[in-house]
Amino acid sequence: MNRKKVICSCYHVTKGDVADAVEQGASSFKEVKKMTKAGKACGDCKKKIKKLIRKLS
């Protein structure tokens, strides 16, 4: 996984940021959103984030 790849362009959240949130206990999109702000604006990244959470869990 390329940890530097931006998954949420609105807030410049990377795959690594999402992975870190999961490692810190986030287990849902809502929890990742709260920790990283990813998905708070346009929501285009929601599916990608959910898929990444499943992959990392």
Spans of all domains in the chain: 6-56
Q: What is the mean pLDDT of the chain?
A: 96
pLDDT reported for residue 12: 97
Strand blocks (E) in 1-57: 6-8, 13-14
Answer yes or no: is pLDDT of 51 > 90.
yes
Which CATH architecture group holds 6-56? Orthogonal Bundle (1.10)
pLDDT reported for residue 25: 97
Answer yes or no: is pLDDT of 3 > 90.
yes
pLDDT reported for residue 1: 85
pLDDT tier at 57, thresholds 50, 70, 90:
confident
